[in-house]
Structure 1
Amino acid sequence: MFGQQNAPRVPAINLTLYSRPDCHLCEKMKVTLERVARRYPFKLTEIDVSTNSELEKTYGSEIPVLIIEGRKTAHYYIREEELLQKLAGYY
């Protein structure tokens, strides 16, 4: 395809955010993720734990929970600088 030969390859980093509706900490983490995505693109999957009793049991007391590439990275809160540092390791 045209232009793809010289295009830099960006790793497909997968992030999962376990959250629930009406969660102010979840909203704060989403804002942080949006800001960080401008510098390090990633694929974000958000999962509402309130729709699944097993997920609620596993993550409910720690919401929001951020998983990067299958690894639990943060719960409740993550500073923007900390998230940038963690993602930089994938680039």
Structure 2
Amino acid sequence: MMTGNIRHRVTLYGKKECCLCDEAMELLERVRASVPFEIEKIDISGNPGLQEEFGLKIPVICVDGVRVFNYRVNENKLRSLLAL
């Protein structure tokens, strides 16, 4: 029996028609099938502040508010972070 059942929040900053963003989302969904967590996808299009911050680095992946990946997601590292 699991106690605590802490769920992490993974945030993907990206935009539509971004193949790396699509790949990252597919990987997040695949990992979520075995390790439960919340996914939040934020489209930076039309948000000048986010475009300035993340612009050419997307997708940017944050786990519980901490930026952990730019461009590509390392599945093994993601799983390790979610196991904490």
User: TM-score, normalising length from structure 1?
Assistant: 0.84
Tell me how large the CA RMSD over aligned residues is: 1.4
1:51 and 2:24 are equivalent in the alignment: no
CA distance in 2, matches of 1:47, 1:81: 23
Greater C-alpha Rg: 1
Structure 1 residues 61-72: aligned runs within 5 Å = 61-72=56-67
Residue 8 of structure 1 deviates from its aligned partner by 4.0
What's 2:9 paired with?
14
Q: CA deviation at 1:43?
A: 1.0
Q: Distance in 1 between matches of 2:9 and 2:45?
A: 22
Contact kept in structure 2, 1:18 and 1:47, CA below 8 Å: yes
One-letter identity of the residue aligned with 1:76 = Y
Query: What corresponds to 2:79 in structure 1?
Result: 84
Aligned residue number for residue 19 of structure 2: 24
Gaps in structure 1 of 5+ consecutive residues: 1-5
Q: Which residue number in structure 2 is paired with residue 3 of structure 1?
A: none
5+ residue gaps, structure 2, are none
Moved >6 Å (runs of 4+): none
Size of the aligned set, in residue pairs, is 84
Query: Once the two structures are aligned, what percentage of the paired residues are identical?
Result: 32
Q: Normalized against structure 2, the TM-score is what?
A: 0.90
